Every structure is written in C-alpha cells, then in structure tokens.
Amino acid sequence: MNQRTDWLPPQAPGSEPAPAFPQGAPFGAPSSPRKRQSGLQRLIGPLFVVGVLLLKFGKVALLLLTKAKFLTTSASMLVSVAAYALIWGWKFAAGFVGLLFIHEMGHYIQLRREGVRPSGMVFIPFLGAAVATRSLGGSALAEARVGLAGPILGSLACLIPAGLWLATGSEFWQALAFTGFFLNLFNLVPVVPFDGGRAMAAMAPWMWFVGLGALLALLLVAPNPFVILFLLLGVFTTWQRWKNRKAGEEGNLAYYRVKPAHRLLVGAVYVGLIVLLAVGMDVTHLERTLSDA
C-alpha cells in the first residue's frame, strides 16, 4: 500500500521548515527555530504508519490473495448459473452447474494425484468449464487418466439426481440426471481438447480425425454455432498435436509410448463409460410433447 504524502506542505530537500507562530505570540513576532530533521528521521514516520497499516490489514490482504482462485471460480459459477437460468430457470441451472463442477473436480483431483498443481477452475457460460494447468502429467497415459477422471466422477454425480427421481418421481430430477449423463457422454467425443481426445492420446491418436469427422457430420445434420466453435477448436488443436506427435510433448520422445496393457485398460474404461452413460440417458429420457413446451 502506498503511503500518501500529498497532504504535507511542499518542502525542498534539505531546507528548513517555514517559521511558525505559536499560540499567544504577537503577529510578526519571531519564533524559535525548529531543529532540522535528518533523512532517517523523516523516513521513520511514514514507515511507522505503513507498519501499523500492515499489522492491521495485512492479514486480510493476504487472505484475499490466497482466496483469489476461489473467488474466480465462485464468481464464474454464479455467472454461469445466471446465464443458464435465462433458459432453464435458476433451480435447474444451479443443479446443472453443480454437476459440471463435480465433473471438473474429477480432473482437478487427478491432476493433483499426477503431481500437477492446477492454477484454478473457471466456468464459461454455454461452453462448460475448464481447469487451468500447464501440464497434464508428462505422459499420454497420465493425460488419459486426467481426461477420464472428469467423466468418471461426473457420471457418479449424476446418480444423485437419478436416485432422487426414483425416490420422488419428480421430472425435475429426471431431466437433470439426463442432462448430466448427456454432458459427460458428449465430453467423450474423441477430439482434443475434449476428455475423449485426452483418452485417445494414450489409446489411438488417429481417432482424433474420426472425432473431427463426427463433429462435422453433427454440424451438417444439426447446425449449431457451438458445434462450429468446437469443430474449429478441435481442428486447430489436433493439427498442433499431430504435427508435434513424433517429438512428443515438450520434446519428450517417450510421451506417446504406452504399454499395450495400459492402452487396453484406457480403452476399456472409455468404452465402458460410453455404454453406461448411454444407458443412463435412455433410462432417464423424458418424453416431451408440444403441450409440454
């Protein structure tokens, strides 16, 4: 915190202060001269004030700095809830963002297990959310584990509204569960930077092009500006990854070297998630009619 000194009268360096008139002295009567203060003495006063302010507010400022990531995450969550509420209402929007948060926490937890410290989580209305990080673990296998951790935890979270629907029969929970299953299934599209694309880094990187073809087909069948955005992002990211594949990430030649057993395990988890999420969507599918609109 900068200490303001603009309230002090201007004074040339090394000059004596102007004479003062003590109370009771006649106008024009000379006053006793003040002692000249050294540079150290002039510095002690402001430093003392700054020290008092730091003692009083320093802990608060430090606490706010350490909570900056939390504030960014919570603020972006509230903005997302407000944006989705314009379409679905605030209750459904809050539930959807909650499922999205648990999905991203899967990535966050796995990153920490891989020895990576994420720099934060941010929510982007109508585009989802992302965990900011400089590394995905240093190998394609670690990248696959991080990518699949989100849909795994996110799918488990969908069992909460599904269970509430079975217990209460409320269509609200049924629709929320269906939307959550769809969210996690869509993220398994084999295109980077989607979670499915992360899994393909360890299983079969050539599947990135299959995923791009699937997005292009979806765009032709059901034109959507978000699909266009996802397709452009996928094309750019896939081109960069494929071009640097032989060198590996950050020059690591062994980045894409995965044991067959690990590749098989990643494939089994990936396919298993697709099957289970598809079943979940089928079970929780809610028939809508024109009268419901």
User: pTM here?
Assistant: 0.72
Output the CA–CA distances (angstroms, integers) from residue 74 to 78, 82, 83, in the order listed. 6, 12, 14
Least confident of 36-40, 197-201, 210-214, 258-262: 36-40
The pLDDT assigned to 60 comes to 46
CB within 8 Å of 202: residues ≥ 6 apart = 140, 141, 143, 144, 256, 258, 262, 263, 266
Domain boundaries, the chain: 136-292
Beta pairing partners, 122:
130
Higher pLDDT, 247 or 31: 247
Residue among 72, 101, 109, 70 at smallest CA distance from 84: 101
> Does residue 131 carry a pLDDT above 70?
yes
Name the most confidently modeled range: 67-81, 125-139, 259-273. Answer: 259-273
Q: What is the mean pLDDT of residues 155-180?
A: 96
> Does residue 85 carry a pLDDT above 70?
yes
The pLDDT assigned to 12 comes to 42
The pLDDT assigned to 53 comes to 46
The pLDDT assigned to 271 comes to 96
The pLDDT assigned to 5 comes to 42
The fraction of the chain above a pLDDT of 90, given in percent, is 46
> Does residue 256 carry a pLDDT above 90?
no
> Does residue 144 carry a pLDDT above 90?
yes
pLDDT band at 288 (very low <50, low <70, confident <90, very high): low
Output the CA–CA distances (angstroms, integers) from residue 171 to 143, 286, 289, in the order listed. 37, 8, 14
Residue among 154, 243, 158 at smallest CA distance from 192: 243
The pLDDT assigned to 32 comes to 44
Mean predicted lDDT score pLDDT of the chain:
78
The pLDDT assigned to 20 comes to 35
pLDDT band at 134 (very low <50, low <70, confident <90, very high): confident
The fraction of the chain above a pLDDT of 70, given in percent, is 71
Beta pairing partners, 120:
132
Higher pLDDT, 289 or 188: 188
Residue among 96, 93, 73, 91 at smallest CA distance from 83: 93
Beta pairing partners, 124:
128
pLDDT band at 292 (very low <50, low <70, confident <90, very high): low
Q: What is the mean pLDDT of residues 160-178?
A: 96
> Does residue 75 carry a pLDDT above 60?
yes
Output the CA–CA distances (angstroms, integers) from residue 94 to 97, 168, 273, in the order listed. 5, 19, 25
Q: What is the mean pLDDT of residues 243-269?
A: 80
**Which stretches within the chain are classed as H helix?**
39-66, 68-88, 90-113, 140-168, 171-186, 195-203, 207-221, 225-243, 260-284
CA distance 3 to 42: 13
Output the CA–CA distances (angstroms, integers) from residue 90 to 37, 169, 180, in the order listed. 65, 21, 16
The pLDDT assigned to 264 comes to 95
pLDDT band at 74 (very low <50, low <70, confident <90, very high): confident
Return the residue matching tokens 């995905």: 136
- Tens of pLDDT, residue by residue over 2-25, are 444 443 344 444 444 443 333 333
Q: What is the mean pLDDT of residues 245-272?
A: 82
The pLDDT assigned to 245 comes to 72
